[in-house]
């Protein structure tokens, strides 16, 4: 057996950026020799992948889907370096394989997902990812996912810019009218970036902060302090309408809110519907993108 330690595996991983199992295999093949192990990884094309892994991946897609009977759903974000890759069929096949694997095998997190055999394949997700990096030529990262059980409706906006998954408690999941209703709700979440489901979900500290800001605004407008609190309560009601899904005006019919739209749909279909939770992923949100100043680059070349 080759003589190397867990620290050697860790050191090789930090040096190359390759996966732990690949580093272990390389050290075994090289009888513990670090330089030979690096060469082995380069020969396998894995070090090429590691080099790409240092590049910023903030494009790609946010994708959402369900299984056939809507009983399990997933929303996943897979990033690449350029928006062009998101239109690549091979890349999208990989994204869908990730989503289906999550639905079928319920991994705990991204690291666990990487170790699983991909849905309909003999390759693991990690092996499939390595292959895509080498063939497509960009850094590709599975960033995050969320899986839900129970009646789910998925919606993908603008070709993968936003993915939304909504989870319901209902006895109407088999009805196409319910799916149409669910898509409406998901589209509303996508469009308005709703942060909360209902008033009880809004943290108390957020409400207190809003009240303080609103109270100061009212006083600055010249209103007497004794009526400021009454005005603020009215403004908090508006805050809920803007930030809580159930209180929001339905974008297709501003005479009702989403809660009323849900109740009306349930009544029309002869059953019950309750929105339990939702997740909205927007591709690249929170990732610091590299800023290229093309004009400055051209100017420096002219000089």
Q: Any idea what the CATH number is for the domain that residue 111 is in? A: 3.30.479.20
Tokens of 69: 């009977």
> Residues 70, 163: one domain?
yes
As a whole number, mean pLDDT of residues 68-78 equals: 97
> Residues 136, 278: one domain?
yes
The Cα 165–Cα 150 span in angstroms is: 12
CA dihedral for 249, 250, 254, 259, sign (positive or negative):
negative
> Residues 48, 65: one domain?
no
- C-alpha dist (Å) from residue 84 to 33, 60, 80, 81, 166: 40, 8, 9, 9, 28
Domain count, the chain: 3
Question: Please, what is the average pLDDT of the chain?
Answer: 89
Domain containing residue 122 = 61-169+274-282
Tokens of 237: 């009601």
Residue 243 falls inside a structural domain = yes
Asked if 86 contacts 61 with a C-beta cutoff of 8 angstroms, the reply is yes
The Cα 77–Cα 63 span in angstroms is: 6
> Residues 225, 125: one domain?
no
> Residues 213, 262: one domain?
yes
- 301 falls in which pLDDT band (50, 70, 90)? very low
Percent above pLDDT 70 for the chain: 89
> Residues 114, 213: one domain?
no
pLDDT for the residue numbered 47? 59
* Model confidence pLDDT, tens digit, residues 210-260: 999 898 888 888 888 888 888 999 999 999 999 999 999 999 999 999 999
- 283 falls in which pLDDT band (50, 70, 90)? very high
pLDDT surpassing 80 at residue 164: yes
> Residues 260, 140: one domain?
no
* φ and ψ of 224, to 5 deg: -65, 145
What's 33's domain CATH number?
1.10.8.10
> Residues 36, 77: one domain?
no
Contacts of 85 by beta carbon, 8 Å cutoff, 6+ apart: 59, 60, 91, 136, 138, 140
């Amino acid at each position: 057996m080759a003589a190397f330690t867990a620290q050697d595996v860790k050191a090789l991983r930090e040096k190359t950026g390759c996966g732990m199992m690949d580093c272990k295999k390389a050290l075994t093949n090289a009888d513990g020799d670090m330089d030979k192990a690096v060469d082995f990884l380069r020969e396998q094309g894995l070090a090429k992948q590691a080099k790409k892994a240092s590049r910023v991946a903030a494009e790609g897609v946010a994708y959402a889907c369900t299984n056939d009977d809507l009983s399990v759903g997933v929303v996943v974000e897979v990033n690449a370096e350029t928006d062009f890759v998101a239109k690549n069929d091979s890349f999208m096949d990989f994204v869908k394989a990730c989503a289906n694997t999550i639905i079928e095998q319920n991994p705990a997190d991204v690291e666990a997902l990487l170790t699983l055999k991909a849905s309909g394949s003999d390759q693991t997700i990690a092996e499939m990812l390595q292959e895509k990096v080498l063939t497509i030529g960009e850094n590709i990262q599975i960033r995050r996912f969320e899986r839900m059980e129970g009646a789910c409706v998925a919606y993908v906006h603008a070709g993968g810019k936003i993915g939304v998954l909504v989870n319901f408690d209902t006895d109407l999941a088999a009805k196409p009218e319910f799916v149409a209703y669910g898509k409406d709700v998901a589209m509303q979440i996508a469009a308005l970036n709703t942060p909360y489901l209902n008033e009880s979900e809004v943290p108390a500290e957020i409400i207190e902060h809003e009240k303080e800001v609103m109270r100061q605004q009212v006083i600055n407008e010249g209103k007497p302090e004794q009526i400021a609190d009454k005005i603020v309560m009215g403004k908090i009601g508006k805050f809920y309408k803007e930030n809580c899904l159930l209180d929001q005006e339905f974008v297709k019919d501003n005479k009702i809110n989403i809660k009323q739209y849900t109740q009306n749909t349930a009544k029309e279909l002869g059953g019950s519907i309750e929105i339990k939770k939702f997740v909205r992923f927007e591709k690249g949100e929170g990732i610091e993108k590299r800023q290229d100043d093309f004009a400055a680059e051209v100017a420096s070349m002219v000089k």
